[in-house]
A and B are shown apart, each in its own frame.
Chain A
Amino acid sequence: MKLLIQLAAIVLGGGALGVLANGLSARPAHLVKAVYPTSDSGTAVCGAAHFELPEVHGHPKMPQKQALAACEDCTVAFVDARGAADFARGHIPGAIHLVPSGHPGEASVLQRLRGFKTVVIYDSGGGCGLAEGVADRLSAAGLSDVRLLDGSWTDWMAVDGPAQSGACQSCPLEGPGHDEQAKPMSEARP
């Protein structure tokens, strides 16, 4: 009986301690917001040395220079296909977060994307194929001009492309931290 009480005390006390520790974390999890898996899309292994290169899907590419101009003119919609944590750390201003496995709030996101003539998708590079996966998904949903950014997020940052950090404002059902205010990333650049 004493052992059972101690077991319960450790589980309950540990649980309370964990919630407290989460509150003190530099990047706490939002306890009342759902976190959806991205593992099927491969975002969890993005950059892993043994990750196999995906097949080429045949989507046209938009040169980085053209994308930079389009970003400044707000003439295209950008879609970030990386994991939610990477997105929150930094992304192209106004970009929408979508992973190849999608998420339950996708219908409203698609509706928003349909308002743009062109959609440009990017990921971390490194052969993860996340952007290609999202491009397939958007093409299947009927979007006509879906392109891949020629280069990765890393390349975008390397040329000082516009960037902001924080949550996706257009992704209603995404995970923790997505209600943060987007902010410029000038101080966060490597």
Chain B
Amino acid sequence: MKLDPKSVALAVVRVALGATFAYAAATKLPDMQQFAEETANYRVVPAQLVPLFSSVVVGIEILAGALLVLGVMVRAAAGVTGGLLVVFIAALTQALSRGIDLRCGCFGGAEMASWGTVGRDAVMLVAAILVFRFGGGRVLPWSSEPSSAG
């Protein structure tokens, strides 16, 4: 059975996107309080909702990332990651436009929010759109098309 290059490319994009989201969530898990504070610093979410909102974001990152890597419910997972990325880009853009200096909170470290961060999120958004539009592809000749499962 012959592999379609487009299908392989989509699979690579899907797995890379999913792994990035799962990794991003994993780096936040040890210190959820810190992530809540970084979320608050964007000055978008009401202070009372920040802890719940930041926890929900991490959970969605874990689940959507895992589904993308595993090739389960691929279009829906890509849609959710795309939605999250739109939120991230909007939050970063408003913070940078308002001159708020803050850590981006992206991978649990001290990375500063910058226009480069926005660009990186935009690249991932394109990846999410591709997977949502064309499906998750496949890597192995005998594997089924993940998008057909979802």
Binding site for B on A (CB under 8 A): 3, 6-7, 9-11, 13-22, 24-40, 42, 44-45, 47-48, 50-51, 83-85, 88, 175-177
Contacts and interface: CB of A to CB of B under 8 A. Distances in A.
Given A3-B75, A21-B59, A44-B102, A29 B54 contact: yes
Contacts of A88: 33
Contacts of B31: 25-27, 85
Interface of B: 29-43, 46-48, 50-52, 54-64, 67, 73, 75-77, 79-80, 95, 100-103, 110, 112, 150
A22 B32 contact: yes
Contacts of A42: 101
Contacts of B52: 19, 31
B51 to A, nearest CB: 4
A78 to B, nearest CB: 22
Determine the main DSSP class of B at the interface with A: helix
Given A30-B51, A35-B50, A18 B58 contact: yes
A31 B51 contact: yes
Contacts of A37: 40-43, 47
B63 A13 contact: yes
A7 B98 CA distance: 32
A33 B77 CA distance: 30
Nearest to B112: A48
A28 B30 CA distance: 8
Nearest to A103: B47
Given A6-B150, A14-B59, A21 B50 contact: no
B60 to A, nearest CB: 3
A42 to B, nearest CB: 6
15 contacts: A3-B79, A19-B55, A21-B59, A25-B31, A26-B31, A28-B33, A29-B51, A31-B51, A32-B51, A44-B103, A50-B112, A85-B34, A175-B33, A175-B37, A177-B33
Contact of B100 (A22, A27, A29, A40): A40
A14 B67 CA distance: 11
B64 A15 contact: no
Contacts of A29: 32-33, 35-36, 50-51, 54-55
A108 to B, nearest CB: 18
B43 A14 contact: no
Contacts of B112: 45, 48, 50
A47 B109 CA distance: 13
Contact of A10 (B39, B54, B55, B73): B73
Contacts of B55: 15, 18-19, 21-22, 29, 31
Given A14-B62, A36-B40, A25 B51 contact: no
3 nearest A-B residue pairs (beta carbon): A18-B59, A14-B60, A6-B76
Q: Which of B40, B46, B110 has the most CB of A within 10 A?
A: B40
